[in-house]
Amino acid sequence: MTNLDIAGISVPPGARRRHEIELVELADGTKVSIPLDIINGGEPGPRLYLGAAIHGDEVDGVAILFRALADIDPATLCGSIVCVPVQHPLSFHADHRLPISQFMKSPLDQAPADAWICFPGIADGNLAQILAATLFEMISECDWAVDIHTPTRGGRYVPIAILPHPDLGAAYGRAEEMAHAFGSGWIMRTDTGFYVADGILCVEATRAGVPSFTFETGEGGRLEEDVVDGGAGYIRNVMRWLGMIDGDPEPAEQTYVMREFLGLRAGRGGLLLTRARLGDLVKAGDVLCSIFNIYGDEVETIVAPEDGVFVRTTTLSTVSRGERAATLGLL
C-alpha cells in the first residue's frame, strides 16, 4: 500500500486523518472550508467516496456517515474511504437546503444556487459551481460513490437508492449492482425526472466512470435514530460487498425496483391527513390522503391513480393547492 494523496493531504497506509479544503472567502474575510474524513486502509482495495449534506437541512446523512465509519480499523481496511460529511458547509450553517444568505444577497449571480445540480462544476463559477467542481475533483479520483440525502423539510422517504440515468454505460450497471448490495429494499431505476438529469452528482460521477447513486432517507431537519442506524447499516453493506471490511451484505427481506416516481399534488388547500403508511404497497383507487378545510369538511380525497409503493409522504400539517401531498413509486 502507498500513501493516499488527495485534496492536498497525504495519508499513509493504515491511517485516518481529518482535513479541510478551503471553499470560499466571504466578504468579511471568513474562510469557509469543506470537512474531510479520510481513511487509507492497510490493505489494497477500492476507493469509496461518501458524501452527505449537500443540502444543509439534510442532517441524517451526516450522522449516518459518522456511525457507519465509527468502528473502521484503518489497519485492516481494504482500500480507502474519502468521506465528506458536510458537502455544503454554508447551507449546513444556514440549516437550509441552500446557502440562503448568499442567494438572497445576489440571486442572479448565485443562480444556479443548488450545487447538487451543478456537476461537474466550474472552478471559476459562482458558489454552487465552485463547490461542485471541488467535490467532483475528489469524486473522480474514487472508484465508487454514494451521495446521501433526505427530502427537504416537510417530506419523508423510505430508504431508497435512486440510480442515475440508465444510458451511462458499464458504470451504470455497476451502480445498479451496488444498489442491490446496499440492501435498503427500495430501488428507483428510471430514465425520467430530475434525479437522472444532467448535472446531478450521481449522474455526472457515473458518466465519468465512478458508479454512484443517490440515497434518500428520512426527513429533512430531523435527526432520527432508526434512520441513522438503518442508513449506517446500508453503507456498511456496500463496504462488505466491495470487500473493504469482513462479512457479507445483509440483504433486504424484499426489494422493490421501481420505474418512475409519481408525485400527487393537492387540488385544494387545507389540513392534510395522511391515511396510508409509508412503504405500503397500494392499489389503484386506494386512499392515500384526505384534505380538510378549516371547518372540518373533507374537501379532497387523494387516491392512488395506479398500483405502486407509497415511497414519500408529506409531513406538513397543511397544504396549499399545488403542493405535493404524496409520492408513489410505480412498479
Q: Are residues 59 and 186 in the same domain?
A: yes
Report the distance separating Cα 165 and Cα 175, nearest Å: 10
> Three-class SS of residue 112?
coil
φ, ψ dihedrals at 175, nearest 5°: -65, -40
Please give the residue range of the domain that contains residue 310: 259-330
Which of 241, 267, 296 represents a domain boundary (last residue)? Answer: 241
Cell numbers given for 85: 460529511
Q: What is the CA radius of gyration of the chain?
A: 20
Q: Are residues 170 and 291 in the same domain?
A: no
Q: Are residues 235 and 270 in the same domain?
A: no
The pLDDT, as a whole number, for residue 11 is 98
- The CATH number that applies at residue 266 is 2.40.50.100
> Three-class SS of residue 100?
helix
Report the distance separating Cα 157 and Cα 214, nearest Å: 12
Domain count, the chain: 2
Which of 241, 267, 293 represents a domain boundary (last residue)? Answer: 241
Decide the pairing of beta strands 78-84 and 31-40: antiparallel
pLDDT over 80 at 103, yes or no: no
The answer to whether 217 and 148 are in contact (CB under 8 A) is yes
Beta bridge partners of 83: 37, 50
pLDDT over 90 at 111, yes or no: no
Cell numbers given for 244: 473493504
Which of 212, 241, 270 represents a domain boundary (last residue)? Answer: 241
- Rounded to two decimals, the pTM is 0.96
Q: Are residues 25 and 171 in the same domain?
A: yes
The pLDDT, as a whole number, for residue 299 is 98
The pLDDT, as a whole number, for residue 97 is 86
Beta strands in the chain (DSSP E): 4-6, 9-11, 15-25, 31-40, 43-52, 78-84, 144-149, 155-162, 186-188, 212-219, 256-258, 260-265, 270-274, 281-282, 287-292, 298-303, 308-314, 318-319, 324-330
The pLDDT, as a whole number, for residue 329 is 98
pLDDT tens by residue, 186-240: 999 999 999 999 999 999 999 999 999 999 999 999 999 999 999 999 999 999 9
CA 28 to mean position of chain CA atoms: 32
Full 3-state SS string of 144-205 = EEEEEECCCCCEEEEEEEECCCCCCCHHHHHHHHHHHHHCCCEEECCCCCHHHCCCCHHHHH
The pLDDT, as a whole number, for residue 105 is 73
pLDDT tens by residue, 73-91: 999 999 999 999 999 999 9
The answer to whether 39 and 132 are in contact (CB under 8 A) is no
The pLDDT, as a whole number, for residue 107 is 75
Q: Are residues 167 and 263 in the same domain?
A: no
Q: Are residues 140 and 266 in the same domain?
A: no
Judge whether 252 lies within some domain. no
131: exposed, middle or buried (C-beta count within 10 Å: 0-12, 13-18, 19+)? buried
Beta bridge partners of 286: none
Cell numbers given for 223: 435527526
Q: Are residues 69 and 188 in the same domain?
A: yes
Q: Are residues 195 and 273 in the same domain?
A: no
Q: How many other C-beta atoms are found inside a 10 Å radius of the C-beta of residue 204? A: 23
Q: Are residues 120 and 22 in the same domain?
A: yes
Judge whether 254 lies within some domain. no
236: exposed, middle or buried (C-beta count within 10 Å: 0-12, 13-18, 19+)? buried
Q: Are residues 221 and 290 in the same domain?
A: no
Q: Are residues 196 and 264 in the same domain?
A: no
pLDDT tens by residue, 265-290: 999 999 999 999 999 999 999 999 99
Judge whether 251 lies within some domain. no
In the DSSP assignment, the letter for residue 27 is T
Report the distance separating Cα 298 and Cα 289, nearest Å: 11
Mean pLDDT score across all residues of the chain:
96
pLDDT over 90 at 66, yes or no: yes
Q: Are residues 230 and 98 in the same domain?
A: yes
